[in-house]
Structure 1
Amino acid sequence: MHIQVLGTGCQKCKSLEKATREVIAQNNIDATITKVEDIVEIMKFNVMTTPALVIDGKVVVKGRVPSNYELKQLLIK
């Protein structure tokens, strides 16, 4: 599984990256995480509000930081 956290470095973006890494570690999920901070790259995903979470090329969350429970549900699918 390839996970991308889209965000320019704001506090919410950092929170999403941290929470995603925690959920992956706690649940032994086999995934790689990439942080995308380049606004041009972010816009390629048609995301105008960060942070956003992309799983295997599909935007699953944008504009907010989901709860750890919601993250787990998204990552286990």
Structure 2
Amino acid sequence: MLTIKILGSGCANCKKLEAVAREAATQANVEAEFIKVTDMKEIMAYDVMSTPALVINEKVVSSGRIPATADVIKLLTAA
């Protein structure tokens, strides 16, 4: 099972990123646990300069943008 974290303040883009990640996990048939991280100290620990950010198994794979569902599927299957 993958651990997927969405880093951000809870803004509209953060929610959209979460929706894209959930859809990608469903399409890729990947079992995943989703965690929202809104605490700025925790977000800064990932050395992320802009949110929203996507973290898969503690590795930052995207930040400052919302990747396409197809791109997230590739990231999930590679993890």
Same fold (TM over 0.5): yes
TM-score, normalised via structure 1 length: 0.95
Secondary structure of 1:72's match? helix
Q: How many correspondences in the alignment?
A: 77
| Runs of at least 4 residues off by over 4 Å | none
RMSD of Structure 2 on Structure 1 (CA): 0.8
Which residue is 1:46 aligned to?
A: 47
Which residue is 2:4 aligned to?
A: 3
TM-score, normalised via structure 2 length: 0.92
Identity among equivalent pairs (%)? 47
Q: 1:23 and 1:58 mapped to 2: Cα distance?
A: 17
Cα distance per residue 1:4-47 (max 9 Å; x no partner): 01010111111000111111122220111101011111000001
Q: 1:57 and 1:13 mapped to 2: Cα distance?
A: 18
Q: 1:19 and 1:25 mapped to 2: Cα distance?
A: 10
